[in-house]
Amino acid sequence: MWCRWLLVTLFLTLPIQAWAGERIALVVGINRYNVQSNLVNTHQDVQHIVEAFEANGIKVINKDTLYDLTFVQLENAFRQLVDQAVTADEVYVYFAGHGLQHNNSTYLLASDTPLYTGEMPQSASLLDSWLNLLQSANPNAQRVFFIDACRDNPLNQINYVTPSFMGIVKRDQGTVVVYSTARGQTVKDNNPFAKELANYFKLSPYSSVSEIIDATTIAVNYLTKKTQLIDRQGGLGRKICPLRCLAQTPKPPITIPAGCIDDACLATPLTVDSFPISTNEFKALFNANPRPMDSDNNKGCMVYENNAWKIKYDLNWYTPNLNYPNVAHCLSANDIQALANWYTSTLNRGYYRLPNAQEQYKIAAYFKRKVAKEQLEQCEKMDDNVTCYGDPQFGVYLVRE
């Protein structure tokens, strides 16, 4: 049985100064093959990744030809990518489809690739060559490859291939290869890697790529009940982030209009950060202004279950939620206001503050998140050191004035 392939290449270049260079991506998903077995979720995975890239200002260069590319189309797309990589600050590649390994080289199969006979693969893109060309086009780049594929090399039906696992061997500096599963292992058609990776790109664009890999690893491990173990090799020369790293820029604001969304109403517009507070923001706060968190002082977190609050002593502010590991939770009003005060004094973007319960309810409705109104109202009435803020699926959005 053929297994689908997913490749994300983040080709992140040069120290960030003014972000003047273009950020580009090649995104390809192949569901339909002429002779190989068709796939199920590659188009859907492509949609997740395109949305995540565009949410971070990354231009998809082949927006009109994302799906079911022929060999000629696939080669032309890579050639265009190499040409544009010369001046781009960042280059991303995402491929979802079939792949094989022949004579220790890895190939991406186009929709019209013929059956593999054990000879040199025909009408299949040699990934190793494109990686070398991308490196030559911009040798100072940082490269991260996300490969979501079966690694038992399913085309090795009569011992054509050595080694028997699918994989790329890259030793040059500034390259990370992340596999969605371990050597010799398979992934299922409902493999959650692409969806979770895209989710953390959108939720945590100011986190480093390394932190996003960690979050995706936790989520995939949990969702597959440890049957899919992410494998990472190599390292980067500097910290890189999908949008920009937090130390370099604040989050862009969003204005939520006045009026009602369902039963969530506000009389005036509300300007908030475009993403919820992350655990990484508190880590940055600690580096600048060391302070204890109230979950450490209280030795636990308040959780809202069955319409009531109770404390859980096995939780703290840095305990990752398996589905949303970088969304800050287990926070007190004191914790949040300390972060808001730090941003007010250092970012020069206006006054930051904790939203009140009614504002939080409207923010949740705007972002289409479900959170109990009673939960927010009761939390607001508690002492400022009580760790009741930050629903794991919703988090807390700072208000700007």
Tell me the two tokens of residue 145: 């490859």
Average pLDDT, the chain: 80
145 vs 187: CA distance, rounded Å: 17
Kindly report, residue by residue over 74-119, the tens digit of the pLDDT.
Answer: 999 999 999 988 888 888 888 888 878 887 788 888 999 998 887 8
DSSP 8-state secondary structure symbol assigned to residue 63: T
Helix ranges (DSSP H) in 66-189: 71-85, 127-137
- Cα separations in angstroms, 114 against 2, 8, 55, 152: 14, 24, 37, 20
Q: How many C-beta atoms surround the C-beta of residue 366 within 10 A?
A: 17
| pTM: predicted TM-score of the whole model, two decimal places | 0.60
Kindly report, residue by residue over 228-277, the tens digit of the pLDDT.
Answer: 888 888 877 778 788 777 654 456 788 999 999 989 999 999 999 888 88
279 vs 299: CA distance, rounded Å: 18
Tell me the two tokens of residue 67: 């799906």
251 vs 352: CA distance, rounded Å: 12
Tell me the two tokens of residue 95: 């491929």
122 vs 156: CA distance, rounded Å: 16
Amino acid letter for position 96: A
> Which residues lie below 8 Å from residue 104, measured CB to CB, with a gap of 6+?
162, 163, 169
Is pLDDT above 60 for 158?
no
Kindly report, residue by residue over 17-27, the tens digit of the pLDDT.
Answer: 333 358 888 89
- The whole-number pLDDT of residue 172 equals 66
Can you say whether the dihedral through the CA atoms of 151, 154, 158, 161 is positive or negative?
negative
Q: How many C-beta atoms surround the C-beta of residue 237 within 10 A?
A: 13
* 287 CB-contact burial (10 Å; exposed 0-12 / middle 13-18 / buried 19+): exposed
Is pLDDT above 90 for 197?
no
Amino acid letter for position 242: P
- The whole-number pLDDT of residue 157 equals 54
Query: What are 199's strand-pairing partners?
Result: none
- The whole-number pLDDT of residue 183 equals 79
* 222 CB-contact burial (10 Å; exposed 0-12 / middle 13-18 / buried 19+): middle
Give the lowest-confidence range in 128-142, 296-310, 313-327: 313-327
Amino acid letter for position 358: Q
Closest CA to 85 of 175, 171, 5, 10: 10
Kindly report, residue by residue over 108-150, the tens digit of the pLDDT.
Answer: 889 999 988 878 888 999 988 888 888 888 887 777 778 777 7
